[in-house]
Amino acid sequence: MLRKPFLLFTLALFSSFQTGEEKGLKIYFERDFLVGTAVNLPQVMGREAGADSLLALHFNSITAENGLKWALVQPKPDQFDFAFGDAFVELGEKHQSYIVGHTLVWHQQTPKWVFQTEQGSPLDSASLAQRMYQHIETVMGRYAGRIQAWDVVNEAFEDDGTWRKSPWFTILGEGFIEMAFRKAEQIDPEAVLIYNDYNVWKPEKRAAILAMAKNLRANGVKIDAIGMQGHYRLDFPSLAQIEKAITDIHEAGFEVHVTELDVDVLPRPSDSDGADLNINFAASPKWNPYVDGLPQEVEEKLVKRYADLMKLFQKHSDKMQRVTFWGMHDGRSWLNNWPVRGRTNYALLFDRDKRLKKGFWEEMN
Ligand code: G3I
């Protein structure tokens, strides 16, 4: 359900002018899916040299990496800060991008006050529902008709398929997802509404997500897509596991959006297999082995991994709306700081000099 069908048509007109080194990802994949990137404050404010031209050449979709999360957009009760959001939407419109809002209801980057009374005791369910509704009305409403898709609810399930015991769940119960989606539809009926999560390749987690989404739809709730975040590693999960997730989501009747693609190349302490942002290990050479550059054989493995993933997504392009990378280039990846702060990671398709990693086109052919 792309809302800008003219976009693909326009891109097709330009494709014949793109050759050799100048070839952009968005042109290469124009018949398959949109190619997106997460963007952050310096990039939307025009304060990062080269970011705008990289965006123009390679990407036709943008997602707000942090700036539309609750803690940033409504840091205090009724105090909204739209400096990022306004610049983000203007940037997307300038580039005729498919613009993705991230995210309305999440347990991370949501201030404690949201779930508490002024005295600091837990909020009652009616008051929390009111806060959720007001937040969605104010943030989504400001950009209604201009942001094409929203990650309405983010990461409501644990990897084993049980409900995450977040304050949303604890205070409002399972119904908080339905409440968020109903309100989102009311505020912008045209927007593509997404449930977004990581490790969707895990069967138990996927089953829980799809059961929830089908149940919502059976109750007349608009829920269009499942976002598979796609925080992968060099050799894990397997292509077969990812493919099964794509086909299962499609068979259940939902669009597939790959919303946060990256590939971690660094060793990971054994007990940090999920995406728990509280984990932090003291930086040491053991956990930060490639400070002076990525060895050639690892880079080759990374490029092949990306090509394999993109070919898999192409194979299922009839089910896929979008593939978004979680950052424009290695210098901007969250994986430089998780699960160990201050590392040098190489998780994206563009290096710190904003060059496409060598060998990618060769691997694609
Ligand atoms: O902006 C402050 C800066 O002023 C301060 O000096 C610095 C000190 O730590 O922190 C900076 O804020 C950081 C922020 O990113 C901006 O860089 C936060 O500490 C850090 O926690 C935050 O991390 C973000 C993370 O979500 C937090 O939840 C990552 O950038 C962002 O990529 C990541 O994105 C999430 C998706 O939203 C949901 N799916 C998982 C994905 C990866 O965790």
Quick check: helix, strand or coil at residue 10?
helix
Q: In whole angstroms, give the CA distance from residue 294 to residue 59.
A: 25
The pLDDT of residue 195: 99
Q: What is the pLDDT of residue 272?
A: 58
Q: Output DSSP code: residue 233.
A: E
User: How high is the pLDDT of residue 10?
Assistant: 46
End-to-end CA distance of the chain: give it in Å, rounded: 29
The residue assigned the tokens 């330009």 is 14
The catalytic site residues sit at 155, 260
CA nearest to 104, candidates 41, 186, 209: 186
pLDDT at 286: 83
Bridge partners, 108 (sequence order): none
Query: Which residue from 342, 231, 234, 233 is spatially nearest to 285, judged by alpha carbons?
Result: 342
d(CA 310, CA 316): 10
Going from the C-alpha of 340 to that of each of 155, 247, 275, 286, the distances in angstroms are 21, 34, 12, 11
Q: What percent of the chain stands above pLDDT 90?
A: 87
Ligand 1 centroid–CA 22 distance in Å is 32
**Which atom of ligand 1 is nearest the CA belonging to 198?**
39
Distance between Cα 260 and ligand 1 center (Å): 14
What is the predicted pLDDT for the residue at 6? Answer: 46
Distance (angstroms) between ligand 1 centre and the Cα of 281 equals: 16
Instruction: Write out the two tokens for 241.
Output: 């596991």
Which atom of ligand 1 is least distant from the CA of 333? Answer: 32
Q: Which of 44, 70, 108 to mutate to test the pocket of ligand 1 (most atoms within 8 A of CB)?
A: 108
Beta strands 61-64 and 255-264: pairing type?
Answer: unpaired
* Positions in the chain short of pLDDT 70: 1-22, 270-283
Q: Which residues line ligand 1 (CB under 6 A)?
A: 65-66, 108-109, 154, 198, 229, 260, 275, 277, 334
**Contact (CB, 8 A) for 88 and 68:** yes
CB distance 74 to 138 below 8 Å: yes
Burial class from Cβ neighbours inside 10 Å (0-12, 13-18, 19+) for residue 29 reads: buried
